[in-house]
Structure formats: structure tokens, C-alpha cells
Structure 1
């Protein structure tokens, strides 16, 4: 990793990397790319009993149709173009970032990414509980996301513009507080996106991360939140829900 960013900038790509439109475009394309395997699983579910057996059983029904996927894609795209792209471009222009000469060490990258995940998980838990406990916030920010009683991968970001912007602010605040190297920040956003997609995918997969790391909730944990609404507020880890008595095992 050492020297990678410097070499990229020397090759004439620095203007692209510092473009105010790159963060939102990269985030949207990454989200869609990470959802693609689950679109394939949903398509295979109509013909493969093995794939159907991986679906979370709590009233999940058949996999979402291609039409539902496309409608969700258009909604997410619209909110990125009208809200996330202008907001990230404005933030980018105010921050005026610069590329460092060297990439972080592997240890520095791991510590920074892990710290960001823990901090984001904490901030999201507080904000998520608030959106559910304050009626005005729920009606005007979070209710749209809960139209998906049985979520699927692409629905991870199917939220109103205000909620998407608030989550963006939480993620950016986490990297700012930790003082991340730009490369660590990129890795954090990638892992953050993947965990959100996996949480909403609707599948209890044999190789899912929460099966390897018991501290993670996973898709069944988050689907319990979409079913019951008053449990499992943390996005990824389970410790805050356990401490505050809002933890509920898979329904």
C-alpha cells in the first residue's frame, strides 16, 4: 500500500480523485455492485430449493421481483442525484482535501477502520432509537425505510433524503473524529456499505460474517427489527442492544 496514492497522483489522476462528485458517485455504484450478488440469489430462488432454504423464514415469502428491484433502484438513484450528490460536493468544497504522500501502514488502516465502525455503530444506535421514539422524526425521516417489512439488499439505502443525509453525516463525522487517512476512510465506507447490504439481504447465508464474528448481528437480527420495530437498533454490532435491553434474537 505504501506510496500507492502518491503514484496515482503522479500519473495525472489526482484531479479525478479530488473531484467533488466522486464520493457520491462511488458510493452509489459501490452500493449497486454489492447488491448484484443478492439480485442473482433472488433470481435463482425461483428455481433453486437450496437458495430458497437460505431465505429467512419469518414470513419472508418469495424473493422480491425484478420489478420491485428496479423501482427501488430508481428511488435510490433519484435521492442520490437530488440530495446526496449536492451535499457531498458542498462538503468536499468546504473541506478542500489533499492527498498524502504515503498510504497508511496495515496496522494503522485496521485500527482506523475498526474505530470508525465502532463509533458509527454507536452514533447510529442513538440516532436510530431517536427516530423510532420521537413520532415527528419517525414520520418525516424513517417511515419510508420501514415500508420494507421484509427487506432486500438494495433497500438498505431506500430511505428519505433527510435520513440518507443524516447517515452520511454520521459516517463523515466518524472518520473526522478518528482522524482517518483517506485510504482508511475509503475502506471504512466500503465495509460500511457491505454490512448494510448484508443486513438487509433477507438471507441467512452459511458464509455470512455474523456466523464468523458473534459480535455482529447479521440479516436475521436486522429483519427482526423490521418486523418488530422496537428491537435491534444498532446497525452491525449487538453490544448496545444487549446493554439497553433492546436485543432480540432472530424472529
Structure 2
């Protein structure tokens, strides 16, 4: 990493996070987050380790913190029952949730952590940036929207293939253990499914980086965080009046993906509705009603 971004900062010597942050603060052009970013890479002085730590910690902290609201909702059914999609099903027990946490942690450490360690060399090979400054908000937003639509297309066709008998039995049936999903089950999947669907998340930034050389690691972190939030919310089992799908009709939302788990087939997309509508794979009574109206 270039430790001398537009400044007189010297290459870092060994020091604590606090000492290195004080050095970064000498550059008035750096934002607070950019100072922390510079400090982190300077402290480790090993870009592979620094990228691995920031990527893995961001994934773990954001995943489990986003699950907390849904754990709370399941713990207080009297307050939130009216928003429950499958309202005849009992909320998951504490034991079920704990078993889910243990399985997901195993997947994260055994499957995802080694891939995250390899991410930095892959990122450099495909031309992704990680030096300062961060990309501007317009660039970050446009690229993130592109990633959402590309990933959704990839997810639709792969997920649909997962429901073919042999692939379902070998790969996908783990994820369908819960017919009434809850937030933690977003990444409850077999190792093979984790890796294959994970490529749909990380592939678009790598390809765009290879083609343009203008994709930054910060954009990737924001994209992955938003994709995590979307997946967790889609598996939450709750549909609130302020849910995004009520504002943005193309958005699938939790009611859309909940129907996939309830009826088993259809609604294969991750974030949007258009592929299921175009291909005639809308799940449940909603899909039957659409076919009758054609």
C-alpha cells in the first residue's frame, strides 16, 4: 500500500495504533475513516494480513449484529407476531438459534476464512485498489447497484439449478432445513453452496476491476455489507409496513423469499423480482394467480 498518499507522511515505523493514527492525522486531506484505514495497513505492514483482518472482522460483526433485531423480534412474539409472515409457525427456539450460530461460525472459519486470506492476492491480480483516497460516493453507489443486478442474475440461475434433484440432494437441501426461515439462516448452507454463491458476490467486483481498474476495496466492503443485510432481512420471516419492497416494487424482500422456503420452488432471485416474473417461476398462490391472468 502507498503510505505516502498526497502528503509528507513518511513510511511507517513500528508503533501502536494510536501513534500511527497521530501520524495519519497530520494529513488534513484524510477523512476520519481514511485515517483509520491508513493506520490499520501501516500497523500490520503486511497488506495480505491487513486486508484479511478487515474483511473477516467486517463480515462477522456486520452479519451477527444485523441478526440481532430479528432475534429480538423472535424473543417477543406478543409484540411482533402481527408482522410475522408465516404466523402459524412458532418462532425458533433459543436452542435452534444457538445450533444455527454454531454451524454458521464453523462455515465462516473453515470455509470462508481461508478464502478471505486468499482475497488480497486475487484482488491485486484483478486490479482492485485499496490505497487512499476512497472512491467518491457517486462511483461507490453506481458500482454497488451494478453488483446488485449482476449478482441477482447469477444467483437466480444458480439457485434454480440447485433445485434440480441431484444438486438439491448434494448441495442445497441443508439451506432448506428451515421451511420458516429466521435471520440467522441467511448463511446456513453447505460448504459447496457457500463457495458457489459467494463467487456471485465477489465475482462482479473482480470482473469490473479487471475491466476498468477503478474498483476499490472500500466499495467491495460496502457492497458485501449491503448484500449481507439483504440476505438476512430476506430470511427474517417478518414483513413490516416500512419494508423496502413497499417503496421499491422491483425489490423482492422477505415476503418474496419466505414464499420460496414455504413452497420450496420458485422465487429463486436474491434481491429483485424481475427474473422470476420473466421466467414464470413466481412461487405459491401469487405465481398461480399471475399465470391465470395471462
Q: Quick one: structure 1 residues 10 and 231, their matched pair in 2 at CA, closer, same or farther if it must change by over 3 Å?
A: closer
SS at the partner of 2:171?
helix
* Residue pairs, 1:79-158, within 5 angstroms: 79-96=107-124, 99-133=130-164, 135-158=165-188
1:44 shift after superposition: 1.1
1:177 shift after superposition: 2.1
* Residue pairs, 1:1-251, within 5 angstroms: 3-4=30-31, 6-14=34-42, 18-45=50-77, 48=78, 50-57=79-86, 59=88, 61-96=89-124, 99-133=130-164, 135-179=165-209, 180-248=215-283
SS at the partner of 1:144?
helix
RCO greater where, 1 or 2, for CA within 8 Å and sep 6 or more?
1
Tell me how far apart the structure 1 counterparts of residues 64 and 285 of structure 2 sit (CA, whole Å).
26
CA contact (8 A) 1:115 1:178 kept: no
For residues 38-71 of structure 1, the C-alpha deviation after alignment (integer angstroms, 9 at most, x for no partner) is 10111111xx2x4111101364x12111111111
Scaled by the length of structure 1, what TM-score is found? Answer: 0.89
CA contact (8 A) 2:244 2:251 kept: yes
Tell me how far apart the structure 1 counterparts of residues 107 and 86 of structure 2 sit (CA, whole Å).
31
- Give unpaired runs (5+ residues) of structure 1: none
2:10 is matched with none
Scaled by the length of structure 2, what TM-score is found? Answer: 0.77
Tell me how far apart the structure 2 counterparts of residues 235 and 91 of structure 1 sit (CA, whole Å).
23
Tell me how far apart the structure 2 counterparts of residues 77 and 102 of structure 1 sit (CA, whole Å).
33
For residues 201-234 of structure 1, the C-alpha deviation after alignment (integer angstroms, 9 at most, x for no partner) is 0011122111111111111111111122221000
Tell me how far apart the structure 1 counterparts of residues 40 and 75 of structure 2 sit (CA, whole Å).
42
Tell me how far apart the structure 2 counterparts of residues 190 and 77 of structure 1 sit (CA, whole Å).
17
SS at the partner of 2:36?
helix
- Give unpaired runs (5+ residues) of structure 2: 1-28, 210-214, 287-294
CA contact (8 A) 1:210 1:216 kept: yes
The total of aligned residue pairs comes to: 245
SS at the partner of 2:195?
helix
